Amino acid sequence: MFKFFEPNKIFQITSKAPRYVLILFVIILCIGLTEALILSPEDYKQSDAVRIMYVHVPAAWISLGIFSSITLLSISGFIFKNKNFFLISKSLAPSGFVFNIIALVTGAIWGKPTWGTWWAWDARITSMLILALFYAMYLISWRIFESEEKVFKITTFITILGIINVPIIKYSVDWWNTLHQPASINILSKSSIHSSMLFPLLIMTAAFALFSLLIFLMKYNTELIKIKNKGLDRL
Amino acid sequence: MINELLFMNGYGIYVLSAFSFTLLSFSALYLITKVQFVKEQNKFVAKFGSLNSEKAKSAKSQRINKEILANATNN
């Protein structure tokens, strides 16, 4: 089954896809920004400050999703001895890290008008900061270790340690008393967010997901060309 | 209308700075990734150009190498 995902076979698709993904991303982002900044209603309590949610929440969701995917791919790469899984993980990490930083910074900007402070050592915020550190360690490992075997082992170890933090981030607002509000959107139970706010949130999430796909494809293609460059040296 | 959009009941500075930070981060990440991609592509084309005809023929037998060259000329 993994033969379908061999770089030589999928490069034909991954090399052409970015331009289409970019066009789609720009269209969805424009719709999302119009909805988020103009058409969606203000909150009865937070007034217009609630609009920060439309960048903060999707960024947090996607950074968590990417880290979980990286962990799954790294472990699978180890089990099935498939280098391509590591290559995919490596290509996903930069956008995951940037989304994590966006979630932290926009959270701090949102905190000032709603809590009266830019930062609090609150369970949710601190655990998101720890996730950013795991992302940083993961990315730095790829830069500093030359040996492929070593970097595969170390990055997998980092992701396994980091994934322990993901459920802590998710349930921190339920387990501890925090400044951060509990989740408004639940898959298994009824969400407490109104549809007029849910729609722009989902549109912005789709735009952010497309952006991470775009960066992933560009980074993956770069990594493949790097490998081919080394191959030319060996000829 | 424009004033209302910018002022946002006094929260405009927070909302717009959060959105601006996000869009600036997107632009920076896109540009950095694009520059890295173009750099590797150019390196590949230069290396390929320096190969002798025999080695170039062998390299071109791989579909992925042909794709990289075709994309480089299209860009």
For residue B26, give both structure tokens.
């997107």
* Chain B residues within an 8 Å CB radius of A113: 11, 14
Size of interface A-B (CB pairs under 8 A): 114
Q: In this model, does residue A2 exceed pLDDT 70? A: no
| CB of A15 less than 8 A from some CB of B | yes
| 3 state DSSP class of A187 | coil
Give dist(CA B59, CA A136) in Å, integer. Answer: 36
Give, for all 75 residues of chain B, the pLDDT tens digit: 778 788 898 999 999 999 999 999 999 999 999 999 999 999 999 988 888 888 888 887 888 888 888 887 776
Name the residue among B11, B33, B62 with its Cβ closest to that of A219.
B33
For residue A66, give both structure tokens.
């990417």
Average pLDDT in the A119-129 region? 93
| 3 state DSSP class of A47 | strand
Give dist(CA B8, CA B30) in Å, integer. Answer: 30
Q: Tens of pLDDT along A174-232?
A: 887 777 777 777 766 677 788 899 999 999 999 999 999 999 999 999 999 999 988 88
pLDDT of res. A1: 59
Nearest-CA distance B8 → chain A (Å): 6
Q: For a pLDDT cut of 70, what percent of chain A falls above it?
A: 96
Cβ pair A8:B63 closer than 8 A: yes
pLDDT of res. B75: 65
**CB atoms closer than 10 angstroms to residue A217:** 23
pLDDT of res. B56: 82
Pick the closest to residue A46 from A118, A116, A113, A124 (CA basis): A113
Question: Radius of gyration (Cα) for chain B, nearest Å?
Answer: 23
| CB of A222 less than 8 A from some CB of B | yes
Cβ pair A229:B36 closer than 8 A: no
Average pLDDT in the A124-144 region? 96
pLDDT of res. A136: 98
Number of structural domains chain B divides into: 1
The answer to whether ipTM exceeds 0.90 is: yes
Single-letter amino acid code for the residue at A145: F
Name the residue among B10, B11, B59 with its Cβ closest to that of A232.
B59
Nearest-CA distance B10 → chain A (Å): 8
Cβ pair B15:A37 closer than 8 A: yes
pLDDT of res. A143: 94
| CB of B36 less than 8 A from some CB of A | yes
Residue B8 structural domain: 2-74
Give dist(CA A118, CA A231) in Å, integer. Answer: 50
Helix, strand, coil percent content, chain A, rounded in steps of 5: 80, 0, 20
Chain A residue with minimum CA distance to B57: A235
Chain A residue with minimum CA distance to B60: A232
pLDDT of res. A188: 67
Q: Tens of pLDDT along A60-92?
A: 999 999 999 999 999 999 899 899 999 999 999
Name the residue among B22, B37, B59 with its Cβ closest to that of A221.
B37
